Amino acid sequence: MEQNNDMSPLVFSRKGRILIVDDMQVNIIILRQLLSQEYEIATALSGQEALALCHSFKPDLLLLDIEMPGMSGFEVCRRLKSEPCTREIAVIFVSAHHDEEQEVSGFVLGAVDFIHKPLNAVVTQTRVKNQMLLKRQSDLLRFMLKQEATRSVSS
């Protein structure tokens, strides 16, 4: 499930990758405990660190806090969606706010979902699982279309 580049069958057999970004270590610990059995996890404590990790770790999904010092989660999302190599990373905002205006802003920026703090284990795991399934299906479809295009050109 590498970002649009390597679509070999081995890519589909690896664990999904999640980058957890939050300036509060306790939130990272909770999310890691909820998700580390099923997914490969990387963490970042700031927006700048998250942007760098998106290029090296190549996550399938970003769990992104909105309010962080220095660079907000909204700014991180805006930058990711503006770059071709990170545009396809799914972003779920994780926020203590239950503000519809913030949710709308997040969706406009390209987020796929919101999870509200305090975290509910079942809700969090299910929303992550659903997004990872969609990502895997999207990658598989892209792989199949690429294979078909290659066959058509060779014929």
User: What whole-number distance in Å separates Cα of residue 92 and Cα of residue 1?
Assistant: 18
How confident is the model over 67-92, as a mean pLDDT?
A: 96
Q: Look at residue 13 in the predicted model and tell me its pLDDT.
A: 54
Residue 102 lies in a domain: yes
Residue 3 lies in a domain: no
Q: Look at residue 10 in the predicted model and tell me its pLDDT.
A: 47
Question: Domain holding 100: CATH number?
Answer: 3.40.50.2300
Q: Look at residue 5 in the predicted model and tell me its pLDDT.
A: 46
State whether residue 120 is helix, strand or coil.
Answer: coil
Residue 70 lies in a domain: yes
Residue 1 lies in a domain: no
Residue 4 lies in a domain: no
Q: Look at residue 155 in the predicted model and tell me its pLDDT.
A: 65
Host domain of residue 55: 9-154
CB 22 within 8 A of CB 38: no
Residue 60 lies in a domain: yes
Residue 2 lies in a domain: no
pTM for the whole structure:
0.86
How confident is the model over 19-44, as a mean pLDDT?
A: 97
Residue 104 lies in a domain: yes
Q: Look at residue 12 in the predicted model and tell me its pLDDT.
A: 55
- 115-140 pLDDT, tens digit per residue, is 999 999 999 999 999 999 998 888 88
User: What whole-number distance in Å separates Cα of residue 37 and Cα of residue 60?
Assistant: 16
Q: How does the average pLDDT of the chain come out, rounded? A: 90
The tally of domains found in the chain comes to: 1
Exposed/middle/buried for 60, CB within 10 Å: 0-12, 13-18, 19+?
buried
- 3-24 pLDDT, tens digit per residue, is 444 545 545 557 899 999 999 9
Q: Look at residue 148 in the predicted model and tell me its pLDDT.
A: 84
